[in-house]
Structure 1
Amino acid sequence: MLKEKSSFSVTDTHADGIILLGKCPAELISTLQNHYHNIVGIDRNPTNFDYDEVICNGTTAAVTAMNYLISLGHKKIAYIGDCSYEARYIGYYQSLISHNLPLDYSNIYPTSQTREEGMKTMELILQREELPSAIFCANDSTALGVFDCLQRHRKKGYIPSVISIDNILESEQTKPMLTTIDIPKKEMAHHAVNLLLDRIHNQHSNAVRIELPCRLIVRESCSYCGR
């Protein structure tokens, strides 16, 4: 059975198991374990082996994105996304530190990572006197909102590089096409179902973690920084 954490109800107790999508609050885990013996998580943030999980490490994905921007000469890189000790945000600031770049909090924009918030956040960025040369979005939906704003409010001579994480179908349909980090969602779902079936049939007892790699997809939205 597949449930988003936000819509979970403990009344759904007739299923043999449950697959969790995304980060699960710590206080909810014990409740889930009281109702389900078979749990598998799919996420970018690994747990402390509280249950079986399939991950594609968000920190690694963010570092991959940041390393690419920095290799293009970008030093002033804005971040739009969840900043509540989330893996992608950790990768963002760790990359700055490892490349001896300053962590400028004015370049950090906490959001809930929707297209609408991406657009609103980019509107705020455009009001600044000193603009970042690149925008790192925590997910593709946010980046689509950034593009919406840039197309609506063109600022003379300002074309920031934009990179994100996910590689959803729409990322190939933007103008310019979005450079992103591919998260192998189909493969993650496949392994999660197999783990759950294996757990249901008592084929393993200890918590298992399967980690799949991310992959940089270079398209058109990033360019060399000349300043």
Structure 2
Amino acid sequence: MPKRTTLTYSSEDAPEVAGDQLHVYYCKYSGRHVLTTNCNLSRAPKRRTDGSTVLDTAAYTYKLYTVDGGIKVLKRKSGEIEKQYRQNAGKLPIAYRSEPEGRFLYLLKDSVTAQSLLDGERGGRDKPPVPPCILPIDNNTTQISLEIDDRADRPEIIKVSADAVRIAITHGIAHEAAGEEALDFMRSVLGVRLGQLSLMRGESTRHKLVLVKDLAPAVAFDKLQAQLNKQKAL
């Protein structure tokens, strides 16, 4: 069954909020509008277990623009089993409840921002956050999720999103040289040696995982963004 979009309002028992300021929050990685509420999340309490921001839906009015993210079962360090009824922005988890209709909505740590990534300033002086498609897998290795378009006029970066770094290569995706071309292009963009890179299978033929040794995720993201900006200037 397709996932349903959730437009959730607080209960009728919520207090009167006429005149209160509304706060708009966006997914920190995709820039999607995910929540409007009269609660200032910067002043809301944090859950000790995972640092999530706690929104009391009986005390504040709110509206979610999310989809059902399913149930996530976690085992805490204490040994306790916890169920999270999650809400997603696309594939990205944004919030959860501990019960299907629970009073408290937990916004995952670093999942939302009051500044849209679609805005020109991208959070003012701060750099945009590293998207989840670029992540550390150990102390000295970064994993980059690739989505590959083939038979292009030249290799290039098309887009950097939360889900993947989308690139184009000149060979057909099934050609034996396609993987080599993708790696060589990433080598030139990231400014690393070919020996620092390895290409792994992904979810499909067009999805690959690139492992980069001795390059931090933030540095990799900056180099990818620089290449994208360079292409736009041509």
TM-score by length of 2: 0.21
Rg larger for: 2
More helix, by proportion: 1
Choose between structure 1 and 2: higher strand proportion. 2
